Amino acid sequence: MTRLRATLYYGILWLISLCFFAPIGWIVLSSFKTQNEILAMPPKLLFSPTFDNYRALFANDGIFKQIANSVFLSLGAVIVAVVVSFLAAFCFSRFKPRGTDFLMFLLLSIRMLPGPAVILPVFLMYVAFGWKDSHLWLLLFYAMFSIPFSVWILKGFLDGVSTRYDETGLVNGGSWMHIIFKVVLPQVRPGLIAAFIFNLIFVWNEYLFNFIIGGVNTQNIPYALMVGTYSDGGLNWTFISAMTSIYMVLPIVFIFIFQKYLLVGMTFGTVRGEV
């Protein structure tokens, strides 16, 4: 009886998960259909899958540049952000300089602002300094946008590492650099991973900033998705479904592998624990 109940219970949970996944499944399914099959009424569940959409996708040279940009911008920005944030978080956590709370507050408020309000003054500044459509400056902007998040996550973790480690290290003659990178850093690895993954997903999915302060050279895949919605005349469903299917593999694989960091990542490190 309990076995049956357990099966039923788990069956319901699985059903709920599948319901949430269904629209995504529909996108993936569509990516193997022809345009006419996608638009067919009644919707086709059985069809002979075609890989033409993917072939067409990669037949376009621009796509590789856009993928490269997506990878470069998100990786680069997040690496810069995590390094910078770690140093700052260490400082906030250990030395508690005056104004720590205020700075932490300001940092967070950047992330709380609607996108166009963030990018508007930055755009004007980029116009004035000629920084638009540059990999470096776009990367740095993304880094700055990833910093608040990372500082918050890492400070939470650093607060949890006992200062006794630092003291032992110092007594044993280690330099502060040694302590920071060799003693403390390894202990906050979960925080680093969480900061890394969730900023990466954010930059990976980011569209507006890329559209406004990026350009020909720096366009990423979300940009391509937005621009490629229409093909000659109609809506380009084959492109949208194929591109989306490929592009979401990375975030979904990440939340599978790094599931235990999900909570930390999604809450600025303010909530810890596993699900």
Partner 1 sequence: MTKAENFEAASGLKRRSVLKGGAALGLAGVAGSGLVGRALAAEPHPLAGQKIEMNILGIAGWGPSSLGVAMSPLFAEYVKAKYDYDVTFQFQEAPFADLFQKAATSLATKSQEFNIIISDSQWLGALAQPGWILNLNEIIKANPNLQLEWYSKAVVDTYMTYPDGSDQIWGLPQEGDVEALFVRKDWLEDPAERAAFEAKHGKPMPQTWEDFAELTMDEFELLADFFTRPDKQVWGFAQQYSRVYDFATCAFNNFLWSRGGRTWDATTGQVEGILNTPENAASLAEYKRWLKYCPPGATNIGIGEGVDVFVQGKVFSEIQWAAVGPAMIPEELKGKVLVVPPPKHGTGADAKRIMSMGGQPWVVNAFNDDAHMRVAIDFMNWWYLPETALEFAKRGGNPCDKATLSRPDFDDINPWNRTFKYMLEDGRSQDFWHDPKYSEMLAIQQEGYSAFVTDQATDPQAVMDYIACAQQQILLDSGTSKIEPSAMCAGTSL
Partner 2 sequence: MSPGMRPQGRGRLMDNPRTRVFILLAPVVTFFVVFNTIPTLWLLGLSFYNHSLTSGMPPEFIGFKNFVAIFNGKNSIWFDLSRTFTFVICGVTFQTLLGAALGFLFWGSKNMPGRRIALTLLFAPMVLTPVATGTFFRFIYDPTFGVLNYIARDGFGMAPIDFLGNPKIAFWAVLAVDSWMWTPFMTLMTLAALGSVPKAELEAAEIDRVPYLRRLSLVIWHHGKFIMMLGILLRTIDSFKTLDLIIPMTKGGPGQSTRLVALELNKQSFESFNMGWSSAYAVLLLLISIAMTSVFIYVLNLRRRKEAEE
Residue in 168, 217, 229, 231 binding partner 2, rule: CB under 8 A: 229
With CB under 8 A as the contact rule, the residue among 3, 4, 177, 232 that binds partner 1 is 232
Specify the residue, 44 or 178, whose C-beta has the smaller distance to partner 1: 44
Segment lying near partner 2 (by CB under 8 A), choices 46-54, 57-65, 185-193, 234-242:
234-242
Partner from partner 2, partner 1, none binding residue 149, C-beta < 5-8 Å depending on class: none
Q: Where are the alpha helices (DSSP H) in 160-207?
A: 164-171, 176-178, 189-205
Q: Considering beta carbons, is residue 94 or 132 the nearer one to partner 1?
A: 132
Interface with partner 2 (CB under 8 A), residue from 149, 196, 261, 268: 268
Distance CA 212, CA 230 (A): 20
CA distances from 249 to 27, 38, 87, 272 (A): 12, 21, 32, 26
Q: What is the DSSP letter of 44?
A: P
Q: Restricting to residues 98-117, name those near partner 2 by CB under 8 A.
A: 103, 105-110, 112-117
Q: Which long-range contacts (CB under 8 A, 24 or more apart) does 82-86 make?
A: 82/146, 82/150, 82/154, 82/192, 82/195, 82/196, 82/199, 84/143, 84/147, 84/150, 85/146, 85/147, 85/150, 85/151, 85/154, 85/195, 86/150, 86/154, 86/185, 86/188, 86/192
Interaction residues for partner 1, span 76-135 (CB under 8 A): 123, 126-127, 130, 132-133
Candidate segments 34-42, 46-54, 61-69, 181-189, binder of partner 2 by CB under 8 A: 34-42
Q: Would you tell me how many other CB atoms lie within 10 Å of the CB of residue 236? A: 18
Q: Is 236 in the site for partner 1 (CB under 8 A)?
A: yes
Cα angle vertex 141, ends 79, 155, to 5°?
50
Return the residues of window 211-230 that contact partner 1 according to CB under 8 A.
211-213, 215-216, 226-230
The Cα–Cα gap between 133 and 219 comes to: 9
Residues 199-228 that bind partner 2 (CB under 8 A): 201, 204-205, 207-208, 212, 221-222, 225-226
List residues binding partner 1 (CB under 8 A). 36, 39, 41, 123, 126-127, 130, 132-133, 211-213, 215-216, 226-236
